[in-house]
Structure 1
């Protein structure tokens, strides 16, 4: 794929050292660490931008999915965006991301998501804040649970299929959570530079929850327990896993994991002695307006229509009027309608995920609509705050 003197595509084998050098200078890691990360991540998904025959930019699109309204929406996460220092300040990163998005749309992905190192770049190509990732930190002394009715044991290799099914059931009801692929699962059980130990809890019907624990040494013999994954399908499983973590109180001071600030596990605690720290607002880009709106789920009892008018500088196919009709939890989109809700592709992202309400977007000057359309839009995109536990 070429643009003028630019060329976009997978790197050649002899270019991998240049890619590792760009990433090490972009993210302040050693070239050896960057090379190891590339090998672990899977070079097949890596993309580079060349100008005058030289690699000047890198990106790593990762096929995955997200859950919205109880339905899976195909999504490409983007990581590893780096630009050679000598190529900065001349629009290289913008050209790189435009090429990435063109390829992803061509492959049929309706959405793309990333964690921004800078918002200005990604807003230029149509991304906007659309969800959150929080670090939740609890004092081990406050985990005074004594649930023992479910059995607990270490995770075995043969448990992976059961764990993935438990996670799928857990994630499908949480807006924004990933439908994980091999790349994401590898990060849970084998985090970079650390060792995670997995434990699961079982009841009469099988696995009801699990946790992966990384023990981080603190001052003296004390530890912090960092959970790369923490899933409970039932109240008994949640209390059993919290009891297990509380059993570490002789050597551990705190337990930390990532996810939503409205995590139901926090509701089980006796006191509000925990911290919820914002790590990132992740950003989402709608690549295909009709496909994205039809792929997600909607409230089952809702029936209504929303008349949208969308602006998108990068994709002409996303421009114009669309009529979204919702019935029985599903949406159908066709061209046309009255264009009562006017917004650009960036504003569609937080509306789509439920990160910001239509009223909030109207107050910010990002959405223009009539009063009659406001409650319809609010009802269609209502739900729990969109969040993500995973990093990529």
Structure 2
């Protein structure tokens, strides 16, 4: 393997990518639909591969997302479909591919990148760390049916409502100062609303998208700007209680439904954890929202072997909900972080946990509580698996 190199995947290589994908994830999926999606990634330079000579042996694609942090939108490259041919695993091919992905995220201007890991070893080695979860709760459908909200007008949604959905979700996440939810391209939302397997309803200040799942119902997303709208939309889903005993719902652990439903969610809540990495630390800090009224001045020393532009001495300033990370002189009071510690801090992991895991060291004795206050907030979560 002397001729391994990272390349942009070409249309002629998609059959090879599909073969490696089947060997990596097993059979399944619609090949024609997968190919149509892959061509969009290729056209925008967001599909990368590794070749050995002329043979494609690994591939990954990058979704063009934005992500909410502190109630503000930050561009994010969502890494998905990472596959390596079985005979090339354990030989550094995955690391080579992901280094190419990181560089492409730099070129595309994504200050953040995230993924759902099949293995943590590879991604931690390259600076990713756990930042949040995708939570799936199960409720009794009959409970939801009786929540009320009958005075709220709810109508069936269509493809034409895609922009309205984005506006309603944006207003909700800004108000809640959400951490973690993704903003998908409008074309993807239009596609979901066209899918006859999805049931979408909209009110003046909210919407719901749900579908059938093995004889039960599953809520992909429910946004409500008021109690009455929340009751009306959940009751719409619960109206299927004569057929479906259970409603599975992807929502954060602090969603109002946990306070509205008469019975507690079932005890088998499922969590898929996702990992985050800062690609451009100053831009990621500048894009993130911070609590109003909290002021912080702190020195950081970042050591990022994969992305040297993040490495150095920095001064972190947070005032009036806005953060700035600027180059500074070395300080004996600097908090020392690698890319994993920086990602975890950005996502609100307490300094005591970072220190206990060896991901943070040094720093002024009084700074930890201030950093926790600045980066803390709502539990980071995603609703989507990509």
TM-score, reference length from structure 2: 0.92
Contact preservation (8 Å) 1:17, 1:35: no
Q: Kindly indicate whether residue 94 of structure 2 is the aligned counterpart of residue 101 of structure 1.
A: no
**1:336-375 equivalent positions in 2, closer than 5 A:** 336-337=328-329, 338=331, 339-354=333-348, 356-369=349-362, 370-375=364-369
Match of 2:21 in 1: 23
Q: How far does the alpha carbon of each residue in 1:223-262 deviate from its partner, in whole angstroms, 9 at most, with x for none?
A: x011222111111110111222222221111111213222
Q: How far does the alpha carbon of each residue in 1:36-60 deviate from its partner, in whole angstroms, 9 at most, with x for none?
A: 3242353423221112221111001
SS of aligned partner of 1:302:
coil
Q: Kindly indicate whether residue 156 of structure 2 is the aligned counterpart of residue 154 of structure 1.
A: yes
1:35 is displaced (CA, Å) by: 5.0
Distance 1:277 1:341 in 2: 36
Match of 1:384 in 2: 378
Contact preservation (8 Å) 2:155, 2:202: yes
Match of 2:247 in 1: 255
Q: Which consecutive unaligned segments of at least 5 residues does structure 2 have?
A: none
Match of 2:311 in 1: 319
Q: Kindly indicate whether residue 172 of structure 2 is the aligned counterpart of residue 174 of structure 1.
A: no
Contact preservation (8 Å) 2:48, 2:100: no
Distance 2:35 2:268 in 1: 31
Count residues with an aligned counterpart: 376
Match of 2:298 in 1: 306
Distance 1:310 1:34, change over 3 A: farther
SS of aligned partner of 2:306:
coil
Distance 2:254 2:194 in 1: 27
Contact preservation (8 Å) 2:149, 2:230: no
Match of 2:211 in 1: 214
SS of aligned partner of 1:252:
coil
Contact preservation (8 Å) 2:162, 2:193: no
TM-score, reference length from structure 1: 0.90
Match of 2:59 in 1: 58
Distance 1:9 1:171, change over 3 A: farther
1:108 is displaced (CA, Å) by: 1.7
SS of aligned partner of 2:240:
coil
Worse-superposed segment, 338-347 or 71-80: 338-347
Contact preservation (8 Å) 2:66, 2:74: yes
Q: Kindly indicate whether residue 4 of structure 2 is the aligned counterpart of residue 6 of structure 1.
A: yes
Distance 1:332 1:273 in 2: 41
1:34 is displaced (CA, Å) by: 4.5
Contact preservation (8 Å) 1:305, 1:376: no
Distance 1:95 1:27 in 2: 20
Distance 1:35 1:19 in 2: 13
1:361 is displaced (CA, Å) by: 1.3
Q: Which consecutive unaligned segments of at least 5 residues does structure 1 have?
A: 202-206, 219-223
Contact preservation (8 Å) 1:68, 1:174: yes
Contact preservation (8 Å) 1:199, 1:211: yes
1:187 is displaced (CA, Å) by: 6.8
